[in-house]
Amino acid sequence: MFRIRFRTLALLSLVYTLLAVPRADAADSRAIAEQAFDELVQQRFDALAARFSPQMKAALPPERIAAQVQPLLASFGALRGPRPQPRSTQAQGNDVFIFPAVFEKNRANIVI
């Protein structure tokens, strides 16, 4: 068992909030979620922000994402192994993918 720190919850909330995408079929939704997970973990915040609506881009540009997320990811260490296989669910009519990620120093369910 592991403890989730407040900062971990903040990251998960941030990712869930930022990555809402237009409705797509299940395969497309999963592919989008996997790409977004990779962009997040690889700290490619420009690519991640390219998925946002114009309003979200204005509110949360890549530099701001980096300032908030990079320290947290740095504290987790590198992702161990390949991208985890996500579980999927529905929330408010949206496809939601939960990636049970294991990092060198922590574990987190990354919700996209």
Residue 112 has pLDDT above 60, yes or no: yes
pTM equals 0.77
Please, which pLDDT band fits residue 100 given cuts at 50, 70 and 90? very high
Write down the H helix ranges in the chain.
6-18, 26-41, 45-49, 54-59, 62-76
Backbone angles phi, psi at 95, to 5 degrees: -75, 130
Spell out the residues 6+ positions from residue 69 whose beta carbon is closer than 8 angstroms to its own. 11, 14, 40, 43, 45
pLDDT in tens, 25-71: 767 899 999 999 999 999 999 999 998 888 988 888 999 999 999 99
| The token pair that represents 100 in the structure block | 């049970």
Going by C-alpha positions, the residue among 55, 52, 27 that lies closest to residue 39 is 52
Please say if the pLDDT value at position 3 is more than 90: no
Is pLDDT above 60 for 5?
no
